[in-house]
Structure 1
Amino acid sequence: MNFIRRLRVPRLNDKGKWVVCVTGGVLTCGFAYALEHTADASDFVVHPFQLPWSHGGLIDSLDMASVRRGYEVYKQVCAACHSMQYIRYRHFVNNFMSEDEAKAEAAESEVDFIDDKGVPAKRPGLLNDFLPSPYPNKKAAEAANNGAEPPDLSLMGWARDDGDNYVFHLLTGYGFDPPEGVLCEEGKAYNPYFPNGSVLAMPQQLFDEGIEYKDGTPATMSQQAKDVVTYLRWACEQWHDKRKQYAIKVYFGNFQFRTPPSFFLTQIMKKWSDFSFFLNYTLLPHGIQSVKKDYLF
């Protein structure tokens, strides 16, 4: 108690009090300013709903018919501005196209190459070629899109948080008037699902019956968005189905090979515990010291 009584809180002089007050005021104002502007930046952003995707379950596979329709949407709508620089035509084979179909699809594109005479020329695409880019360089892409370069879509399913739901709602989230305080410049569009102020350089791209599916599926706006999202999921995760198959095999394999040893080990440990209890609390107190020695050694 004497030690506690001897403790004294140092008193601040006028200068120290002034420093504490100013520091506290600055920190308080800075925190309030940051909190206010953080709220302003997210006032007009709508978070996407969680949709029941057919491939979203633990044992659900990708719908390859939807993947193929999604490629048609990409080819007829998205490919005019967006590249897929990591996808080759050979990736289509045995997924949603046969080899002959993939070869015919590749042959529709033209690839720059140098001929035997060293002259730049063009040739039909081959299975090993990447999907063509719509622009020759970044500057050309920015000049054609209001100063914003369209992102590559090869990994778009992973590039955004909650990728499938975000892309679907972004593609179908046009048609709303910007709220008061949101400036939408000419040539840009308002979309409440787009972050950073909800104003982006890409106008609405999907419309009802905007394209015609080869399999006759009605091409509503939501159907096109659903199919292209499924295609983008396949593009960034082509091993999606195999990953789930391997996970199931590993799970049941571990269950099959680990359960019997675990059961027998548990039984052995249980019996050993019972035997140890018997030695320690039944025989030893009565002076039979040799029993433990005979059994354990």
Structure 2
Amino acid sequence: MAKMLLNFGSKLLKSTKNWTSHKSSTWTNAQNRLSARQKLLGVGIGVLTGGAGVLLYALEASVEASSDMVHAPRQAWGHLGLLSALDKKGVRRGFQVYKEVCASCHSLQYMAYRNLVGVCMTEAEAKAEAEMITVRDGPDEEGNYYDRPGKLSDHFPMPYPNEEAARSANNGSYPPDLSYIIAARKGGEDYIFSLLTGYCDPPAGFQLREGLYFNPYFSGGAIAMGQLVSNESVTYDDPDVPASASQIAKDVCTFLKWTSEPDGDDRKLLLIKSVIISFFLIGITYYIKRLKWSCLKTRKIYFMDDVIASNKAKEKSNDNECPKE
């Protein structure tokens, strides 16, 4: 009776195994077909993405080729690297250039005096700088407006009361705000540096209206802003720094780079910390995964056919060992 049950169980197990193998082969074929479709879809998406990228590059190249201004050459800026920070002394000198040269026409309406603290000035220096301006404040308890000295929370003053006054003072041209000028112009600080140092005489046949100046780095070549940056146009407090036109332009570009990204150095530092912490966490995760799954991945699975065969082999060996009566 036990032998009959054993034979029935082995036949049932074989039929189950055949059905399982057939099902697994069907599932494998379905997976292969699905993987082929996925591969085809991935190739199609890759081709479309690459074609879109090539088209955008070609359009941008054609626009640059048809531009009406000279492209600004790249300069060796020390703050462009991932591990590089802005020159704080250069930012301080650039603020001096802005205050003495640029502030008469251009505004920095998104920057406050408190932003200078810890970057290029101490808190006392920034307070003294803010107190040099007069701010219209109010109303007071009696409903009157009054003038007071500036505070750290005040923004940089506007050179003109409104846009119409600015255009009237500059032959109809509106001086743009410089808070984010580096981020807003193609070429960034390279463009601003070339614009400040690129004034020259117009070529033969180029007609300039009265009140305009020729600059090949400006669109159209005619610009309403005159050449303000020249040798010794600013006197630096540091005698070791030459007040040449290129040095003055470099310093003000460094300052405007900071105004465009006040937290740029902090983001770089945060990125470095995130990468270091990520490597540490990835290592711990890999170790825990190996520790938890090693017992499952190294275990040995015995199938019923092998168990039945081994049991039969043991029974035969036991029968052979039993003495015959």
- TM class by shorter chain equals 0.7 to 0.9
1:228 aligns with one of 252, 267, 275:
252
- Look up the match of 1:124: 149
Cα–Cα, structure 1 residues 78 and 260, in superposed 2: closer, same or farther, change >3 Å?
same
Could you tell me how far 1:120 is from its partner in structure 2? 4.0
Other-structure match for 1:161? 186
> Quick one: which amino acid aligns to residue 83 of structure 1?
S
Q: Taking structure 1 as reference, are residues 270 and 177 closer, same or farther at Cα in structure 2, changes over 3 Å only?
A: farther
In 2, the alpha carbon distance for the partners of 1:138 and 1:78 equals: 17
Once residues 64 and 102 of structure 2 are traced to their aligned partners in structure 1, the CA distance between those partners, rounded to angstroms, is: 33
**What per-residue deviation string (whole Å, max 9, x for no partner) do you get for residues 174-204 of structure 1?**
1242454x43211111111112x12221111
Aligned to 1:80, the other structure's residue is in SS state coil
Which position in structure 1 is the counterpart of 2:128?
104
Aligned pairs (5 A) from 1:1-297: 42=67, 44-114=68-138, 116=140, 117-178=142-203, 180=205, 182-195=206-219, 197-216=220-239, 217-262=241-286, 265=289, 288=306
Q: CA 1:164–1:256 in 2, change beyond 3 Å: closer, same or farther?
A: same
Q: Distance in 1 between the 2:131 and 2:238 partners? A: 22
What displacement does 1:39 show? 8.7
- Write the letter of the residue equivalent to 2:306: I
Aligned length: 246
Give CA deviations for 1:219-261 in whole Å, capped at 9, x if unaligned: 1111111111111111121111111110000001101110343
Point out 4+ residue stretches in structure 1 off by more than 6 angstroms.
Answer: 37-40, 266-273
Identity value in percent: 41
What displacement does 1:215 show? 2.2
Provide TM-score, normalisation by structure 2: 0.68
* Alignment CA distance shift 1:272-1:207 (3 Å): same
CA contact (8 A) 1:69 1:228 kept: yes
In structure 1, how many angstroms separate the alpha carbons of the residues matched to 2:296 and 2:117?
59
Structure 1 distance, partners of 2:80, 2:63, is: 32
Give the whole-Å Cα distance in 2 for the aligned partners of 1:290 and 1:75: 93
CA contact (8 A) 1:178 1:190 kept: no
Q: Take 1:188 and 1:262, find their aligned partners in 2: how far apart are those partners?
A: 66
Taking a change above 3 Å as real, the CA distance of residues 39 and 242 of structure 1, as seen in their structure-2 partners, is: closer
Q: Which has the larger radius of gyration?
A: 2
Sort the Cα spacing of 1:177 and 1:257 in 2 relative to 1 into closer, same or farther, 3 A.
same
Map Cα deviations across residues 63-108 of structure 1 (whole Å, 9 max, x no partner). 1100000000000000000000011111111111111111110111
Amino acid at match of 1:132: P
Partner letter of residue 121 of structure 1? Y
1:160-182 CA deviation, whole Å, 9 max, x = no partner? 122111111111111242454x4
Give CA-to-partner distance per residue, 1:29-58, whole Å, 9 cap, x none.
xxxxxxxx979952x511111112111100
Q: Normalised by the size of structure 1, how large is the TM-score?
A: 0.74
Tell me the alpha carbon deviations over residues 105-154 of structure 1, each in whole angstroms, 9 at most, x when there is no partner: 01111111246444443221111111000000000001111111100011
Question: Structure 2: how far apart are the matches of 1:226 and 1:266?
Answer: 54
Structure 1 unaligned segments of length 5 or more: list them.
1-36, 292-297
Q: Whole-Å Cα distance in 1 between the matches of residues 84 and 203 of structure 2?
A: 38
Q: Are residues 178 and 169 of structure 1, via their aligned partners in 2, closer, same or farther at CA, if it must alter by over 3 Å?
A: same
- Partner Cα separation in structure 2 for residue 127 and residue 154 of structure 1: 17
Name the amino acid aligned to 2:257. Answer: R
